[in-house]
Structure 1
Amino acid sequence: MTSCEDFLSENVRGVISPNNFYNSDQEAIQAANGLYLGMSSGNLYDNWQGISAYTYFGTDEVMPNRLFGGLAPIMDYNLTETNYGNAYGIWQNLYAVVGDANSVIANVRENQKLSESIRNRVLGESYFLRALAYYHLTALWGDVPFYLEELPLDEVSNLGRSNVTEIRTKMIADLKTAEGLLPGSYSGPDIGHASKWAAKFLRARYHLWQKDWAAALDASKDIIDNSPHKLMPTYGSVFDVNNQFNDEAIFGFDFLKGVDAQVITDSFNPRLRDEPKVSSQRSAFAQALSERGEEFNGYGLAVPINDLIEKYPKDDLRYPWNIMDSYLGYDLRYSYFKKRTNFDFVESPRGNHGEWWITMRLAQVYLMAAEAANELGNTADAYQYVNRVRERAYSPAQPLSGLSQTQLRKALQDEYKWELAGESERRYDLIRWGILVETIKNTDFGIHKGNENIQPHMVKLPIPAEEIVLNPNLLESDPTNNGYR
């Protein structure tokens, strides 16, 4: 139905009028592929200053190892309407996905030129990706403009902000619809597209934001009990670059060699000029890397923050995959997230390599189930789920037990940190738990000043000043612009 090259290389928006498109299954698939491309390009998932800058930078997990202009506003928490890195680009790109998804849905929903199976799949993918766009919009800005139909530009540009709960409730309903439309798995060239389990994963995340613990637990249990996904036997095997579409991975973005010079992984790869710790050993170190067909070939910006290094349990088998402070016998100047690195200089991140960037995996589902069960007072179930994740993290096993609900809540918040460091949505979690400000104030930010500058209103971003100039209605429901005025 589609090839790997088509998956993230088709974007028909603005090229062909919808009136002359959507005449075949292949054209509908191309339209859906364009949505993936929109979500994985620009300021979103292909850019380490995109979504990632506002999910794990500015937290107790990840920091840039040097002062860097694009990341400074979030690390230093000195955000303003005009000083926020590339948040304006994120806003624009997310709404581009929303608009494109609305168009695909409108043109596919009743289209009898398409086979039922393709019509259902394309609709399911469109609902999912639109819900993912609104997920980030609401997590970053709270109340935002909200529309689900094809609208003229002049109408879109005059929309005010809708209530965040209303938006999330509607997206939950759409994701339930998507689950009924999407297949449970893919094979061949279609691997990597959103499945019903990816839609259910995202719905569980929405339920956690809404504190609908029962619904979050039900969705998570369904994935655990009925999906084809399984925990990999070891933590490191989850991140094997030769087995990226593994049993644990539920969803991610498939960056293809030869399509675009992607840079997201580049931020996690060390750069040779920074390493090793003893600079006189650099030539020998470079030679040792070369003999393995490797090089330190990235920007080296995304490194574990001191707080993570100091507090990470040293007997945890996940530790060396999250805190790499030496390589090939050489001590490194900085620590790195080994699980996010790729030193192959033939398939270099800086040299345009292909890679599947995992954004949803089964271990997180177990932690979501444990969190929801604990909030419901079902501590026995909560232990069952979190200890499945901890089984592969310790030898001999160190299962959690005998904790109060409050103690278990704190233990689970830490478990999210140890399991998902540098790969998930730590800042979002800290916000929805209501502990972002206190956590940042108590985190060693090194050369950065976020722990000194953060204020309670900074759990949300300000709507970009450029958007307010174009659409003053954005201030109608909140003249303070999330507290920044």
Structure 2
Amino acid sequence: MKKLIILLLLIGFAGCDEFLEEDVRGIISPNNFYNSDTEAIQAANGLYNTFQSNNLYGQWQGISNFTYFGADVIAPSRVFGGNAAITNYTLTETNYANAYTVWRELFRVVGDANAVIVNVRDNENLSAAVRNQVIGESLFMRAFAYYHLTVLWGDVPFYTDNLALGEVAVLGRTDLKTIRTAMIGDLQRVESENLLPGSHSAPGDLGRLTVWAAKMLRAKYLLWEEDWAGARDACVDIINNSPHRLMDTFDQVFDINNLYNDEVIWGLDYLKDVENTNRTDSFNPRLRDEPKDSGQRNALRNALADRGEEFNGFGLAVPLPAVYENFPDEDLRKPLSCINEYLGFELKFFYMPKLWNLDFVNSPRGNHGEWRVIYRLADAYLMAAEAENELGGPTNAYQYINEVRERAYEPDQPLAALSQDEFRTALIDERKWELAGEDDRRYDLIRWGILVETVQNTVYPRHDANINIQSHHVLLPIPAEEIELNPALLEADPTNNGYR
């Protein structure tokens, strides 16, 4: 959100040390808050702020730890701490570190969104426009939280009312299909009631949600439900009617000087010295590792400095051999997705420069002010292609996947004359090449039902995921701390997703 400074509410939206720790119902109410449009917008801002936190999207140790590690695109250059359990598939109820904070923060969003909706709807202190916007944003944020919860844990506690603590503390797990159906309905409401605008023009609002972001999230839900026609129609609507377009070249999508570009449908904006992020540092190389010839380290440092750059990242998230060995050489996306040479220096590791930010002056380590893309239009094209193929084969799907490939190849290499199965395989690869490192891959493999076999057939130079992974690793275990607080979480499934 360029210039949208996210405000943490001092009460009600303050962080909890434990999930279900406090009851915020009545703490934030029309009597002491929500008395003006400004206060209602601040409440919605609190939901954005939670997703921007380090426990969710602020750094790799949040949701990204479970979206790009443990798959076939990105792996850590070294295994330690918070990434070890998912990287090596040694997950238990107690050793998976930051997954507990992810669970807790996602449910924090759910509870806060419920409170906002209750306090905003029918509130005569607010203008109709702000009331719609805040309800629309809250419905989206709640659906976005449940999207991650159902992908990562499957059946989870589900509630959309502003329940008292005692009521929430005894909730069991709800079937994920019930949850997804309800969230799809909420997102349809956002669209049908025009709760969110089609675009924002004020500079301070450029990071706020639009109806197109809601439609993207609904399309993703619909793919999980295998509602191919619904997903296709949502994506085609975005493609044909939204103000977004594919950038002319792939590198323009990731230009750090123009990250809020026409292709981006929604993202989270981090402001240097305000709500900064260190997620980029996981992709930025660290000089202690590079170059491959350590005797050239000072020369590399000087060459970087001449450009106002530093290798001052963690050097953690690096492409796997499955990427740099198989990425088509003629694909124009390859130099931004896997390189082991920079400024004439051979590097020890391969890296993904499309997600670098080496500008140490304006964007120093641990204090990056940058745009983190969540949804972009190329994804809508690929989802439309997948849905169309599942509906009736590739005939009507080519137009969508080839639009993405047209940018990726010169001269063009359109797909043609494929069977439905062949197109399905090509689509799996196309999403890998187009969206590498962008928080989709592990979710995609789970949705396609091929996570276990894909990991078993992937080479991991520095860990043993391919040996350790088992069928129950598709889902995470509910944290032991939560089960101690609420034994009802085991009633529907005493095995805790197979971990007992």
Same fold (TM over 0.5): yes
Aligned with residue 230 of structure 1, among 242, 245, 263: 245
Following the alignment from structure 1 to structure 2, what is the Cα–Cα distance between the partners of residues 278 and 4? 40
Letter in 1 for 2:290: E
Cα distance change of structure 1 residues 5 and 229 upon mapping to structure 2, 3 Å threshold = closer
Deviation at 1:153, TM superposition (A): 1.2
Match status 1:17 vs 2:25: no
Give the structure 1 partner of residue 144 of structure 2: 132
The answer to whether residue 184 in structure 2 is matched with residue 186 in structure 1 is no
In the aligned structure 1, how far is the partner of 2:351 from the partner of 2:9? 35
Contact 1:10-1:37 at 8 Å conserved across structures: yes
Shift of 1:261: 4.4
Q: Counterparts in 2 of 1:377-456, with a 5 A limit?
A: 377-456=392-471
Q: Which amino acid aligns with 2:58?
A: D
Kindly tell me: are residues 428 and 64 of structure 1, through their superposed partners in 2, closer, same or farther at Cα, counting changes over 3 Å? Answer: same
**TM-score, length basis structure 1:** 0.98
- Report the counterpart of residue 217 of structure 1 in structure 2: 232
Task: Output the CA distance in 2 between the equivalents of 1:322 and 1:167.
Answer: 36
Deviations 1:360-417 (A, max 9, x none): 0000000000000000014222100000000011111100000100010000000000
- Do 1:298 and 1:349's aligned partners in 2 also have CA atoms closer than 8 Å? no
Matched residue count: 483
Q: How does 1:147-158 map to 2 (within 5 A)?
A: 147-158=159-170
Match of 1:145 among 157, 164, 179: 157
**Alignment gaps of 5+ in structure 1:** none
Among 56, 61, 85, the residue aligned to 1:73: 85
**Contact 1:307 / 1:443 at 8 angstroms: preserved in 2?**
yes
1:196 aligns with 2:207: no
Pair 1:102-2:122 in alignment: no
Match of 2:306 in 1: 291
Provide closer, same or farther for how the CA distance between residues 85 and 305 of structure 1 changes in structure 2, counting only shifts above 3 A. Answer: farther
1:285-331 per-position Cα deviation (integer Å, ceiling 9, x unaligned) = 10111111110111010010111111111110000000021111111
Cα distance in 2 between the residues matched to 1:468 and 1:55: 24
Question: Structure 1: which amino acid aligns with 2:385?
Answer: A
Identity fraction in percent: 61
1:113 aligns with 2:125: yes
Contact 1:13/1:100 (<8 A) preserved:
no
What do the CA deviations read for 1:193-214 (whole angstroms, capped 9, x no partner)?
A: 1100000000000000000000
Cα separation, 2, equivalents of 1:33 and 1:17: 14
Q: Which residue of 2 aligns with 1:57?
A: 69
Provide the rounded CA distance (Å) in 2 between the counterparts of 1:245 and 1:348: 16
Q: Is the contact made by 2:4 and 2:207 (CA closer than 8 Å) also made in structure 1?
A: no
Distance 1:67 1:25 in 2: 47
Q: Which runs of 5+ in 2 are unaligned?
A: 15-26
Give the distance between the partners of 1:236 and 1:6, measured in 2 at CA: 26
Could you tell me how far apart the structure 2 residues matched to 1:322 and 1:74 are? 23
What is the Cα deviation at residue 143 of structure 1?
0.2
TM-score w.r.t. length of structure 2 = 0.95
1:69 Cα shift? 2.0
Distance 1:5 1:234 in 2: 27
Give the match's secondary structure for 2:408: coil
Q: Does 1:333 align with 2:333?
A: no
Q: State the partner residue of 2:135.
A: 123
Q: Deviations over 1:120-175 (max 9, x none)?
A: 01110000011000000000000000000111112111100000000000000101
CA distance in structure 1 between the partners assigned to 2:402 and 2:4 by the alignment:
40
- RMSD over aligned Cα, in angstroms? 1.2
Q: Distance in 2 between matches of 1:211 and 1:427?
A: 18
1:167 maps to a residue whose letter is I
- Comparing 239-248 with 255-264, which one deviates more in the overlay? 255-264
Q: Determine whether 1:352 maps to 2:350.
A: no
CA contact (8 A) 2:60 2:282 kept: yes
Q: Give the conservation status (yes or no) of the 8 Å contact 2:271–2:370.
A: yes
